[in-house]
Amino acid sequence: MPGGAAAGALLAEAERAYDPLHPEALLPLLARAHAALVKLPDAPIVSTRRAELDEVMRSCAGLWLEALAARPSTTAGGRVRVVTSALNRSAAPLALASVSVRLADAPPASEHALTRALPANAPVADTFDVAIPAGTPTTQPDWLRRPAGRGRFDVADPLLVGQPENGPALVARFEVRVDGETFSFERGVAYRWVDPVLGERWRSLEIAPPATLQTDLAFYAFPDLAARPVVVTVTAQRAGVTGRVRLAAPAGWTVAPADGVPVTPRRPRRAWCAPTSVTRALRSAT
């Protein structure tokens, strides 16, 4: 790459000077290499090397970054509390320039731009109350967002094919200053809890639908014309969810009540049962 000799020389010098007992001593040299890479024209190989150098510098500084949500899921139109934390586990003089939280591929929804020092082994935390815009897609595998064809799935973005997991719904961005250079690190917002057997567990924050439905049985048999009870359990994912549960039945079948059952869960994540009954058609063989 034209112009890359300066960065290459600095990285070679850093490799020779590496001390496994004090990796943070390389940060000034690596910051100069980062400044040399920034001057290079944008190209895929340059972007890759910049990202790799950022991770090397984060590792040398022992920099731990995390963003944790107060609950495992939220909904479009709702809000979620996110706590970010930055921990410098070295003696290097680092500074936290800003922290922001946003939806993936969207401008920052909330930002704290106050520059603060990152002292050794003292976490610096920020709390965000993030609003999730109405219309935000729910979290689901990318290959299930469109109807599947015969023997194949339809994925809108070819770059997502083969990805083992979804990208994060919310992303926290940390701007860290090292020896006059600013570095950006991103972390997906996650939910953390402690399992009594498995210990500390993590999962990505999910955008859930306003409510989920679950029938009491997976299959129903109608051997005669007698009405069969069907109980639908509605679990609201946020406050203020109201509506009616209606069953769609084939022609000739009877569902009671015909206009559905009103549903008014009082609190989020509380189940509400909607009892109905179904009677099959006279000539139905199902």
> Which residues, in sequence order, are CB contacts of 159 under 8 Å at separation 6+?
none
Ranges 67-71, 118-122, 256-260: which has the least confidence = 256-260
- Summarize pLDDT for 164-173 with one digit per residue, the tens: 788 899 999 9
Assign a CATH topology to domain 64-208: Immunoglobulin-like (2.60.40)
Residue 138 C-beta-side C-alpha neighbours within 13 Å = 10
**Whole-number Å distance between alpha carbons of 167 and 100:** 18
Residue 147 C-beta-side C-alpha neighbours within 13 Å = 2
Tell me if 187 sits within 8 A of 37, measured CB to CB.
no
Q: What is the pLDDT of residue 109?
A: 62
238 has pLDDT over 90:
no
- Summarize pLDDT for 145-178 with one digit per residue, the tens: 888 888 888 888 888 887 778 889 999 999 999 8
Q: What is the pLDDT of residue 245?
A: 87
182 residue type, one letter: T
**Whole-number Å distance between alpha carbons of 62 and 118:** 12
